[in-house]
């Protein structure tokens, strides 16, 4: 009976999705950004909407992290490289003690597009 139970359990393995528990955001496919840009949407916004960003950030309301409006009001275009680095590497301390998850799978170019869009929200 024990052998039968072991056989049943071993044959019922669930398929594991290696991306399910990952905190690393993969780079968005180029065709998604091109399609969004063709539809008149800023490439940075298309990348934001295609990623996990809106889980912790909203346009004008603080959630886990600052709103995009707060970021735009605090930083300038001179900060694009630094902010793109924060998206890729993560960080902690600028907006509180909750760390921002790193997005190591994102290219510097796409991170800069996202920051450029966020800075357009400056009041």
Domains in the chain: boundaries: 43-120
Strands (E), the chain: none
48/78 Cα distance (integer angstroms): 21
102/84 Cα distance (integer angstroms): 11
Return the structure tokens found at 36.
């969004």
Reduced to 3 states (helix: H, G, I; strand: E, B; else coil), residue 88 is helix
CATH 1.10.760.10 fits 43-120, yes or no: yes
18/27 Cα distance (integer angstroms): 16
3 annotated to a ligand binding site:
no
Q: What's the confidence (pLDDT) of residue 28?
A: 46
> Which pTM value belongs to this model?
0.69
53 annotated to a ligand binding site:
yes
Reduced to 3 states (helix: H, G, I; strand: E, B; else coil), residue 100 is strand
- Residue found by looking up tokens 């869009």 in the block: 117
Q: What's the confidence (pLDDT) of residue 40?
A: 80
Residues β-bridged to residue 91: 100
Tens of pLDDT along the chain (123 residues)?
554 444 444 454 444 444 444 444 444 444 455 565 556 889 999 999 999 999 999 999 999 999 999 999 999 999 999 999 999 999 888 898 999 999 999 999 999 999 999 999 998
57 annotated to a ligand binding site:
yes
Tens digit of pLDDT for each residue in 74-84? 999 999 999 99
Angle at 36 between CA 31 and CA 41, to 5 degrees: 150
């Amino acid at each position: 009976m024990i052998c039968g139970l072991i056989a049943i359990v071993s044959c019922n393995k669930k398929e594991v999705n290696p991306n399910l528990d990952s905190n690393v955001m993969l780079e968005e496919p180029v065709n998604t950004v091109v399609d969004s840009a063709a539809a008149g949407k800023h490439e940075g916004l298309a990348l934001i909407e295609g990623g996990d960003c809106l889980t912790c950030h909203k346009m004008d309301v603080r959630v886990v992290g600052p709103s995009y409006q707060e970021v735009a009001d605090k930083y300038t275009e001179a900060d694009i490289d630094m902010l793109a680095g924060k998206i890729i590497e993560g960080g902690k301390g600028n907006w509180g003690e909750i760390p921002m998850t790193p997005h190591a799978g994102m290219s510097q170019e796409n991170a800069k597009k996202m920051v450029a869009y966020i800075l357009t929200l400056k009041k």
